[in-house]
Chains A and B, each alone.
Chain A
């Protein structure tokens, strides 16, 4: 075998390694969903507590279901537009499955509790905190993302704190958790994803 042939075989081996790595490189961006849902939580809280919804849309008790369903539809539409023309990985499907399952569980439980009247402000915050803590933790373990695990810890702390606090205190805890784990983390995620995409472009 000549040196040229040998180099050609080495090049092919390198090509295989590079392409496998390139295929696995995350090109998906989900930071915007954290930001979107953070804003949605604030809208729902504002609507349900200040009563501006009364004059605008009629009934305050519709605040959470309407905001959550609306945001859910918006998320699906935007996700289809953003990710419709890409590659899907097992890891991506696993993370999507966790979040979708959590969303359905939370919606079913909170809607049922709300309609039956067997929920108070503190329980409401505790349920949301515990569920978001679980989902963020599972997602962070799959992605090996410490910052997301920190968000899970914040949500768990908020859930625990809500059980021992007054209505006002639980609201403050909830607002703070949303700010750090949805708004700040969402923006951080978007910046990290943009940086990764830029590195990917340079690499290609």
Chain B
């Protein structure tokens, strides 16, 4: 029987998973856009994004637009690869569960 894959704990958190999925569909996104799409609080969102950044899955760019600070988030190649692997692992686990 093939060994079942383990799910990446950094991606497995629901909010982090939602953030990576959102970022996979866009080039870059602003903090407030991510907050609106996920419905999370500033503090929680900031903490989860920091974890993704520390893991190297998300890159951050800070800039000023019309004198207002703007924080942009972009998914890295590593993040994209890890999300793909996570989805494959999920499907494998679900497939094994259905077969069992």
Is A97 an interface residue, CB under 8 A from the partner? no
Residues of A contacting B25 with CB < 8 Å? 19-24, 89
Residue in A20, A80, A86 whose CB lies within 8 Å of B30: A86
Residues of A contacting B81 with CB < 8 Å? none
Residue interface bits B1-28, CB-to-A below 8 A is 1, else 0: 0000000000010100110011111111
Residues of A contacting B12 with CB < 8 Å? 12
Residues of B contacting A18 with CB < 8 Å? 21
A29 vs chain B, min Cβ distance (A): 14
Complex Cα gap A18–B17 (Å): 11
Residues of A contacting B100 with CB < 8 Å? 1
Complex Cα gap A86–B25 (Å): 13
Say whether B27 contacts A22, CB under 8 Å: no
For chain B residues 25-73, which have a beta carbon within 8 Å of chain A? 25-30, 32-33, 37, 39, 65-66, 68, 70
Say whether A23 contacts B93, CB under 8 Å: no
Is B87 an interface residue, CB under 8 A from the partner? yes
Is A117 an interface residue, CB under 8 A from the partner? no
Say whether B21 contacts A15, CB under 8 Å: yes
Say whether A80 contacts B26, CB under 8 Å: no
Complex Cα gap A5–B93 (Å): 10
Is A111 an interface residue, CB under 8 A from the partner? no
| A87 and B97 contact, Cβ closer than 8 Å, known pairs A9-B90, A15-B17 | no
Say whether A204 contacts B39, CB under 8 Å: yes
Residues of B contacting A86 with CB < 8 Å? 29-30, 33
Say whether A85 contacts B70, CB under 8 Å: yes
Say whether B22 contacts A23, CB under 8 Å: yes
Complex Cα gap A175–B97 (Å): 66
Say whether B37 contacts A23, CB under 8 Å: yes
Residues of A contacting B18 with CB < 8 Å? 15, 19
Residues of B contacting A10 with CB < 8 Å? 94
Complex Cα gap A9–B86 (Å): 11
Taking A13-B87, A87-B30 as known contacts, 10 extra A-B pairs with beta carbons closer than 8 A to each other, sorted by chain A number, are A1-B96, A12-B90, A19-B17, A20-B22, A23-B21, A27-B33, A85-B33, A87-B22, A88-B28, A204-B37
Residues of B contacting A21 with CB < 8 Å? 25
| A20 and B93 contact, Cβ closer than 8 Å, known pairs A85-B32, A87-B33, A93-B27 | no
- Find the A residue at minimum CB distance from B87: A16
Residues of B contacting A27 with CB < 8 Å? 33
| A20 and B28 contact, Cβ closer than 8 Å, known pairs A10-B94, A15-B17 | no
Is A90 an interface residue, CB under 8 A from the partner? yes
A25 vs chain B, min Cβ distance (A): 9
**Would you mind naming 17 contact pairs between A and B with Cβ atoms under 8 Å apart?**
A10-B94, A12-B14, A13-B90, A15-B21, A16-B87, A19-B18, A21-B25, A22-B22, A23-B24, A23-B29, A27-B33, A80-B65, A84-B30, A84-B70, A87-B33, A88-B27, A90-B27
